[in-house]
Chain A
Amino acid sequence: MENIAKISIKSSTKNLIEVRNFIETNAKKQLSDANIINQIILSVDEACTNIIKHTYKFDESHIIEIQNYTDKNQFVVKIFYSGDEFDPNKRNNPDMKEYFAKYKVGGLGIPLMKKFMDKIDYMHYVNNFNELTLVKNI
């Protein structure tokens, strides 16, 4: 495992740009494919957006910590936050034909994360602490 880079943000959507810049800076040190880098940036953005929106209901007083490192052939992003349990792996992707037919809104962040990342791990601990891990094979 190489050096771990870390950033902590307050739980506000205005800080998403800081998260994206953090991931982009680190990803560019390890990866050259702009498309892959964008997929990782978008996935981390979607994960943080969901936490801010659904876990914290846009309450900006919480802290989200993001760690990033490369381990063997994997680019790993870990997101640590407190709050209720929510495992994105347990959320089924929407039927997009029905989605468009019924003009649905929202619920597309997790499908994007699942399409773009090779692995998503989620752990919820007894102290209401959450660890979401996004892995891209490189």
Chain B
Amino acid sequence: MEEFNIIEKISNEVTTLHLEGFLDAHTSVELEKSFEKLIAEKKFKIIVNFEKLSYISSAGLGVFMAYIETIRNNAGDIKLCKMSDKIFNIFDMLGFPILFEIYKDEAEPIEKFK
């Protein structure tokens, strides 16, 4: 597996970013680029699927904080789903569920965007 990879899938108005590998201070730049691109394309309904992400550090968490305000100001959202317990614990420990909707599967956030 590559160190980090993002697969983008678009269905109707919703873009899903499937993250794979390790999201750290080195690879988080790639995720920043993806959000910058989506914002430039005015795609503000975003789901991030963590199913194949095996590691996240605070640099990865910071990417979501960096773009959530802009995206919500444009009537969009970043909804998170399919985290392993290991990764959910990092988000949960810092209180991220206060700000972000986190779902067990991908179908539910898709429904929420309708």
Q: Known contacts A46-B57, A46-B58, A103-B68; is A13 also within 8 Å of B94 by CB? A: no
Interface flag for A108 (CB, 8 Å): yes
Q: Which listed residue, A16, A42, A105, touches B66 by the CB 8 Å rule?
A: A105
Please name all residues of chain B whose beta carbon is closer than 8 Å to the beta carbon of A109 when the two chains form the complex.
Answer: 57-59
Residue B65 at the chain A interface, CB threshold 8 Å: yes
Q: Which of B25, B55, B57, B62 contacts A105 (CB 8 A)?
A: B62
Which A-chain residue is minimally distant from B54 (CB atoms)?
A: A38
Question: Would you call B69 and A42 a contact (CB within 8 A)?
Answer: no
Could you tell me if B57 and A103 are in contact, using CB atoms closer than 8 angstroms? Answer: no
CB <8 Å contact, B62 and A112 = no
Interface of A is mostly: helix
Interface on B for A, CB 8 Å cutoff? 3, 22, 24-26, 55, 57-59, 61-62, 65-66, 68-69, 86, 89-90, 93-96, 98-99
- Knowing that A20-B55, A53-B25 touch, tell me 7 more A-B residue pairs with CB under 8 angstroms: A17-B24, A17-B26, A35-B86, A49-B57, A100-B99, A108-B58, A108-B61
Which residues of A line the B interface, CB within 8 A?
Answer: 12-14, 16-17, 20, 34-35, 38, 41-42, 45-46, 49, 52-53, 96-97, 99-100, 103-106, 108-109, 111-112, 115
